[in-house]
Amino acid sequence: QKEVEQNSGPLSVPEGAIASLNCTYSDRGSQSFFWYRQYSGKSPELIMFIYSNGDKEDGRFTAQLNKASQYVSLLIRDSQPSDSATYLCAVPGAPGRRALTFGSGTRLQVQP
């Protein structure tokens, strides 16, 4: 079983809509969760992290965490064409290993 799973997409939404990106993880001991945005040909950029159950909001982005269900999501409100990118979910690796484990990413397309 993969440690971090994401639907590869593409997820296509119209401009102005809410985009919902989902991620499941296998390690129940994971304490923190990260969302990175990666434009084509560029490096990942950290946009959100969350460590408590519930919601965390930052501008148009909301991260939602449900540890019981081992599920973390990213909502993008008022989606813009500039949001079109691949969104990577990441969790800390095995205990003692500080490096992150990444999902394969979900490609989001926002249609003008």
Partner 1 sequence: DGGITQSPKYLFRKEGQNVTLSCEQNLNHDAMYWYRQDPGQGLRLIYYSQIVNDFQKGDIAEGYSVSREKKESFPLTVTSAQKNPTAFYLCASSMEGRVYNEQFFGPGTRLTVL
Where along the sequence are the contacts to partner 1 (CB under 8 A)?
Answer: 4, 8, 31-32, 34, 42-46, 49, 51, 88, 90, 92-93, 97-105
Quick one: tokens of 88? 């990577």
Based on CB atoms, which residue is closest to partner 1, 32 or 66? 32
Based on CB atoms, which residue is closest to partner 1, 19 or 23? 23
CB of 60 to partner 1, least distance (A): 20
Based on CB atoms, which residue is closest to partner 1, 15 or 58? 58
HSE-CB at 39 with a 13 A cutoff on CA atoms is 5
